[in-house]
Structure 1
Amino acid sequence: MDDTPSRGPGHRDDGARIDIVGLTKRFLTPKGEAFTAIRDVSLTVEPGQFCAIVGPTGCGKSTTLGQVSGLDKPSAGHVSVGGTRVDGITDGVSFMFQADSLFPWKTVLDNVKIGPVLKGMPRAQATVLARDWIRRVGLAGFEDRYPHQLSGGMRKRVAMAAALINNPRILLMDEPFGALDVQTKAIMQTELLALWEEYRPSVLFITHDLDEAVALADRVVIMTTSPGTVKDVFDIDLPRPRGDVQEIRHEARFLELQGQIWQSLRDEVTRAYARTADAA
């Protein structure tokens, strides 16, 4: 039986605070040389906050996410979740990645209910819960389909249901909508906002899309070119609930914020492009 307390609108779970302190991660290249992916990254995500991280390709956005999840260990610094240092897989965390993370041999229903089942929920109860989540993401009637029988947008809906069914305190999202067409992406962004408003997990959202970051987030973090570190942090004061993402992008305040943040991001994108061109 899953006894995780539910989180309704406006709820703030102190166990969902993320503190990233002086985080550095170094790797060895295939040539045996040390490579610093991120250096001295410090950032706080408040409970229930939606935080987007934007930066040029290769700046360490996904590396930072890996440290928060506990899937990787830092070379220096640390991450704390709810005041407890991360040392191994972080409890109460769900993931959404850019690549499909569904089991291709399982149906939509089985993919969605696998989390509760692994957490010990009886299968019959997990099935009822999974059907409800499938309905919430607009896929009622597709329970018996397999991932290869779904469109890209439908697979993302399944992944979203599978991530949120566990009522996570923290949701980590690594370019989850990056591969979708513009129209489908806008629909998925709007649906994500509606579900987030209802359950309010803390969200750390990685994206290359500045418009996406501004439309979704409470706070946008700009990272520098490699080695990545925090350059700027912008608070997004667009009112919530925000409704349709496409409509938000035409608002004067959205355009003002997007322009301000682009001034900071543009320099980093230009530096990353120049570095790649010089290497070529």
Structure 2
Amino acid sequence: MATQPVTGVPGARIEISGVTKRFLTPSGEVFTAIKDVDFEVEPGQFCAVVGPTGCGKSTTLGLVSGLDKPSEGEVRVAGKKVDGISDGVSFMFQADALLPWKTVLGNVALGPSFRGVKKKEAEAQARDWLRRVGLAGFEDRHPHQLSGGMRKRVAMAAALINEPRILLMDEPFGALDVQTKAIMQTELIGLWEQLRPSVLFITHDLEEAVALADRVVVMTSSPGTIKAVFDIDLPRPRGAIQDIRFQPEFLELHRQIWESLREEVETAYARTAGVAA
């Protein structure tokens, strides 16, 4: 993991104001994914969003990235309305978004190459970032030759090499085993504390949200709205994520947020169970 400070572009403020997003279903009906969503992410802040399945968490990420547009309301990044794909935004998905025909080095060098950096310099930057995530020596491997955790390290290097103002993460560690997930969370925090992009992190794992974030946003069951916002006042740097979970302050924050989240999870489950019946 990186130990040297990185000088990057300061994180950008994210403002989501009165946002509603509707979709047409295959049957032609209108489905409201999120409704009247209001919250902010301060520059350089790590914000986690939790909520039951289908509450519109990933939809919200798509609106911030500019990959989609709200039906109502407005999303602003660094004071400017989002109208198309935003500059300075990196996206890390739950599923691997690596090109299987490219080497590890080639995948990580893509970002600088797209920005017009010459191949030699792009590869030098990629080598440096692979070192930062602990993959020096694996530059010539292809994604299928790596473990799940190693592929996540490649994806993280590819997301951070551009030193983004905003890092959007959609359950990036959801498919990993518990031990690998804890290691990746610790590595992410170490790199984020150096770059300090604004992070919008989607997760179903409440422990993960509390351990990583400065702020946790709880969304209601569909249509998703903001039920509560919790500031996480655990000190930074936080060190190993495995150790944070045993702190009394962590356990109390987890209890408070779960009390807010539990009702929404139960409501969402009851709704789907009713449909299944």
What TM bracket, shorter-length normalisation? over 0.9
Aligned equivalent of 2:203, options 203, 207, 212: 207
> What is the aligned partner in structure 2 of residue 26 from structure 1?
22
Q: Which runs of 5+ in 2 are unaligned?
A: 1-5
Q: How many residues align?
A: 271
Question: Which residue of the partner structure matches residue 175 of structure 1?
Answer: 171
Equivalent in 138, 143, 150 of residue 147 of structure 1? 143
Separation (CA, whole Å) in 1 of partners of 2:152 and 2:74: 31
Q: Identity over aligned residues, as a percent?
A: 76
Structural mapping, 1:1-280, within 5 Å: 7=7, 12-13=10-11, 16-280=12-276
Structure 1 length-normalised TM: 0.96
Question: Could you say what secondary structure the match of 1:180 adopts?
Answer: coil
| Contact 1:20/1:79, CA 8 A, preserved across alignment | yes
Unaligned runs of 5+ in 1: 1-5
- Secondary structure in structure 1 of the residue aligned to 2:99: coil
Deviations along 1:228-275, one digit per CA (max 9) or x if unpaired, are: 010000000000000100000000000000000000000000000010
Q: Does the residue aligned with 2:16 lie in a helix, a strand or coil? A: strand
Counterpart of 2:17 in 1: which secondary structure?
strand
Contact 1:7–1:200 (Cα < 8 Å) also in 2:
no
2: CA distance between counterparts of 1:169 and 1:74? Answer: 22
Counterparts of 2:147 and 2:60 in 1: how far apart (Å)? 30
Q: CA RMSD in A?
A: 0.9
- For residue 67 of structure 2, give the secondary structure of its aligned residue in structure 1: coil
1:159-188 superposed Cα distances (whole Å, 9 cap, x missing partner): 000000000000000000000000000000
CA distance in 2, matches of 1:165, 1:64: 24
CA deviation vs aligned residue, 1:177-200 (integer Å, no higher than 9, x gap): 000000000000000000000000
Q: Is the 8 A contact 2:10 2:165 kept in 1?
A: no
In the TM superposition, residue 82 of structure 1 has moved relative to its aligned partner by 0.4
Say whether the 8 Å CA contact 2:211–2:244 is kept in structure 1: yes
Task: In structure 1, give the amino acid aligned to 2:146.
Answer: L
- Kept in 2, the 8 Å contact 1:109–1:127? The answer is yes
Structure 2 counterpart SS, 1:53: strand
1:3 aligned residue? none
Give SS of 1:90's match: coil
Equivalent residue letter for 1:55: G
Task: Give the letter aligned to residue 81 of structure 2.
Answer: R
Change (3 A) 1:246 1:197: same
- How much has 1:12 moved relative to structure 2? 4.6
Residue pair 1:27, 1:37 contacting (<8 A) in 2 also: yes
TM-score scaled by length of structure 2: 0.97
In 2, the alpha carbon distance for the partners of 1:127 and 1:266 equals 47
Q: Could you tell me how far 1:22 is from its partner in structure 2?
A: 0.5
Structure 1 position 7, deviation (Å): 3.6
